[in-house]
Amino acid sequence: MSSVFKKGDYWVYQYRVNGKQKVIHLGKLPNKTIAKQKKAELDSIYVLNKYIPIEKVPISKILYDYFNVLKLRCSNDLHITNTKYRINNFIQEENICYLSQITRRKAETFILRRKKEDLADLTINHYLIAIKGLINWAIKNNYLLSNPISGIKLAKAQKRPPNFLTKPQITELLEKVEKYCPMKYMIYISLSTGIRPNELNIMDWEDWDFNRNILTIPKSKNRYWRTISFNNNLTDRIKPIIKNKGKCFNYSIIPPRRQFAKLQKELSFDFIYYDLRSTYACQLLLDNVNPENVRQLLGHRSLNTTMRYVRALGNYQNEAVKNFNIFSA
């Protein structure tokens, strides 16, 4: 709700955003009609050399601006592609031409359709997060005054426990990947550093210090830089591709989808690329590395996130308990 009224000698435009009251002073104006015209200008945006009401701004124009901002903020091309797909899917299915046509009912109908398709709760949450991201950006840039779907909550999705590779599986993986170049170098780096795929995608050779065996991640998932130590075994394996400067891998998506799909079919076990990061973390913990040090190497903000890998080592803990006897002399 918004209103225009006179306060002393000045006209005021008052409205609410997310439950908070906002006030704009329109200045000294002769009457309420002119004050409302001034308010209409504030509620408009300059498009195609003329002012038009915000509710009449085409959704295509807003999406174009939002996706450009997303490209500047996010370095993960796969995340941007998925976000575009989810938002466009919602816009097309609900036949939305203007941002003001997005309502809670349409969002709930769209989510209900996804549930009927037997999609996982985590996937449905990704759809909802993408839509909410667009609306929050629109509010911040004065395209909308309030969030029409703020009452829709994310589903409580059960996260998949971390899956890590055993020593025999690592040996098989290294044998099978040998013929896939340059993907084999990506896997060598991921196994030896626990780096995230999107971090590997933006990595430059200038980030490597082979004298001190330190890899610097300039921008991680948490938007902070961090360093990872590695040993000479990794240096020897990636020696054929080491350069002085430039990107390490010129791929839009890591790993390359076709090569990775072929590799998955050749392996005798189920495997996704992120399992390399889990394997790195679990192997460090099995080698009795302090969980706090593992947290720093992985770039986790909270130790609770790192403890997921400790819980994933349940079978190995059971083997240790078999030989434990507190009553032995």
Tens digits of residue pLDDT in 35-69: 877 777 666 544 444 444 556 678 888 888 888 88
pLDDT at 98: 84
Reading the block at residue 116, the tokens are 């009927």
Residue 204 DSSP class: B
Long-range CB pairs of 250-253 (<8 Å, 24+ gap) are 251/201, 252/77, 252/201, 253/77, 253/78, 253/201
Q: What are phi and psi of 50, to 5 degrees?
A: -155, 155
Give residues with Cβ within 8 angstroms of 99, minimum separation 6. 54, 55, 57, 59, 62, 138, 143, 144
Above 80 in pLDDT, residue 179? Answer: yes
Work out the number of other CB atoms within 10 angstroms of the CB of residue 313: 16
When computed from its CA atoms, the radius of gyration of the chain, rounded to whole angstroms, is 27
Tens digits of residue pLDDT in 73-98: 776 677 888 899 999 999 999 998 88
Residue whose token pair is 């299915």: 93
Q: What are phi and psi of 18, to 5 degrees?
A: 55, 40
Above 80 in pLDDT, residue 210? Answer: yes
Give the CATH number of domain 167-320; options: 1.10.443.10, 3.20.20.70, 3.40.50.300, 3.60.20.10. 1.10.443.10
Range(s) within the chain of domains with CATH label 1.10.150: 59-140
* Displacement of CA 43 from its chain's centroid (Å): 32
Range(s) within the chain of domains with CATH label 1.10.443.10: 167-320
**Local confidence band at 147 (pLDDT 50, 70, 90 cut-offs):** confident
**Local confidence band at 34 (pLDDT 50, 70, 90 cut-offs):** confident
Cα separation of the two ends of the chain = 78
**Nearest in space to 234 (alpha carbons), one of 213, 263, 256, 204:** 213
pLDDT at 309: 85
Q: By three-state DSSP, how is residue 14 classified?
A: strand
Query: What is the distance between the alpha carbons of residues 40 and 37, in angstroms, rounded to a whole number?
Result: 5
**One-letter identity of residue 233:** N
* Between 139 and 110, residue with greater pLDDT: 110
Sign, CA torsion 287/290/296/298: positive
Q: Output the DSSP codes for 46-93.
A: EETTEEEEGGGSBHHHHHHHHHHHHHHH---HHHHHHHHHHHHHHHHH
**One-letter identity of residue 31:** N
Reading the block at residue 8, the tokens are 């002393």
Q: Which helix (H) or strand (E) element contains residue 128? A: helix 121-140
Residue 206 DSSP class: G
Query: What is the distance between the alpha carbons of residues 221 and 28, in angstroms, rounded to a whole number?
Result: 49
pLDDT at 156: 76
Helices (H), 156-313: 167-176, 183-193, 197-201, 232-237, 257-266, 275-286, 291-298, 303-311
Tens digits of residue pLDDT in 271-324: 888 899 999 998 888 888 888 998 988 888 888 888 888 887 876 666 555 665
**One-letter identity of residue 67:** F
For domain 59-140, say whether CATH 3.40.50 is its number. no
- Neighbour-count burial for 255-273, b at 16+ CB within 10 Å, e otherwise: bbeebbeebeeeeeeebeb
Give the mean pLDDT of 161-177. 89
